[in-house]
């Protein structure tokens, strides 16, 4: 065994470390989410070259830059279609999307609905801090009514979006909620989400210590409880919907819903011959190959 191979075989959270220093604020919940993701990948035995982490725009979307792994930072609200393309081209990769509530549920809201409906085998981790933090504090789709921000000085008028309920109704295979303050539990949720075939949503309660002074670590800790301790069967869709709608004095965390599906890519006729990345260019024929080169040169 070569020295390089030996290093690769010693998989640990350090395998995912790089030299980039996060620019997140001290105390930001994104630190706990990144730690949980690294631990989950190690628990699954997935090496950095076997995973692709895709993001959009926002504080949490900086995450791929801080990990030693394949990464792609797309434009605002578009990480899900990019991740879908990566998964369809190379189904052997573990594909994970990390973005914030504004990117996922606001600007990328339509992609969120169709990712849940389509069920390509990707895991979507949403860092939900209930505010647009990178742009210094505008209200987001999950901000509570009455929440005062730079764009809602008299308080948010709209009712907040309930992303777990929407994901279940749209057809998602796996829906869970974790907390950035509990990285061990969050890591277990991400591990189960990656293992589950189809689109998996892990919504994460992620305090923003700079621009959200209401939904703090203390605010969440006083309200969260684990659904597993209630005896909840996540295969029970109606019970799952009831938990997904619960918000306020009590906030459920854990696996809310799951069902078995056939991931989209396993039924796609275009992939009958196997992954695109594993096919020889010779199969195209010289004329087609030269035409493609000319079109994209």
pLDDT in tens, 207-232: 999 999 999 999 999 999 999 999 99
**pTM for the whole structure:** 0.92
pLDDT (mean) for 42-49:
97
For 130, the token pair is 């209930």
Q: Alpha-carbon torsion 194, 199, 202, 208, what sign?
A: positive
Q: Which residues contact 196 (CB under 8 A, 6 or more apart)?
A: 173, 174, 258
Q: What is the pLDDT of residue 6?
A: 52
Nearest Cα to 124, choosing from 85, 84, 66, 92? Answer: 84
Q: Hey, which residues does 53 pair with through a beta bridge? A: 71, 96
pLDDT (mean) for 57-62:
92
Average pLDDT along the chain = 93
């Amino acid at each position: 065994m070569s020295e390089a191979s030996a290093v690769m075989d010693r998989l640990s959270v350090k395998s995912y470390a790089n030299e980039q220093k996060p620019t997140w604020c001290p105390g930001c919940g994104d630190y706990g989410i990144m730690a949980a993701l690294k631990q989950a990948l190690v628990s699954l035995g997935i090496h950095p070259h076997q995973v692709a982490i895709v993001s959009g725009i926002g504080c949490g979307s900086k995450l791929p830059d801080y990990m030693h792994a394949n990464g792609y930072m797309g434009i605002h609200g578009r990480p899900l279609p990019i991740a879908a393309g990566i998964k369809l081209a190379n189904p052997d990769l573990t594909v994970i999307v990390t973005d914030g509530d504004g990117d996922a549920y606001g600007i990328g809201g339509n992609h969120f609905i169709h990712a849940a409906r389509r069920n390509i085998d990707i895991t979507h981790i949403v860092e939900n801090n209930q505010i647009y933090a990178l742009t210094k504090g505008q209200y987001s789709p999950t901000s509570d009514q009455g929440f005062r921000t730079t764009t809602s000085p008299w308080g948010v008028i709209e009712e907040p979006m309930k992303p777990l309920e929407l994901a279940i109704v749209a057809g998602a295979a796996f829906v869970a909620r974790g907390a950035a303050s509990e990285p061990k539990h969050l890591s277990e949720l991400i591990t189960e989400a990656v293992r589950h075939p189809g689109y998996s949503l892990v919504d994460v309660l992620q305090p923003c210590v700079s621009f959200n002074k209401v939904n703090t670590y203390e605010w969440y800790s006083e309200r969260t409880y684990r659904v597993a301790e209630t005896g909840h069967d996540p295969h029970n869709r109606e019970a799952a919907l009831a938990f997904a709608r619960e918000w306020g004095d009590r906030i459920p965390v854990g696996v809310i819903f799951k069902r078995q599906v056939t991931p989209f890519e396993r039924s796609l006729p275009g992939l009958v011959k196997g992954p695109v990345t594993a096919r020889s260019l010779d199969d195209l024929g010289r004329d087609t190959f030269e035409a493609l080169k000319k079109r994209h040169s």
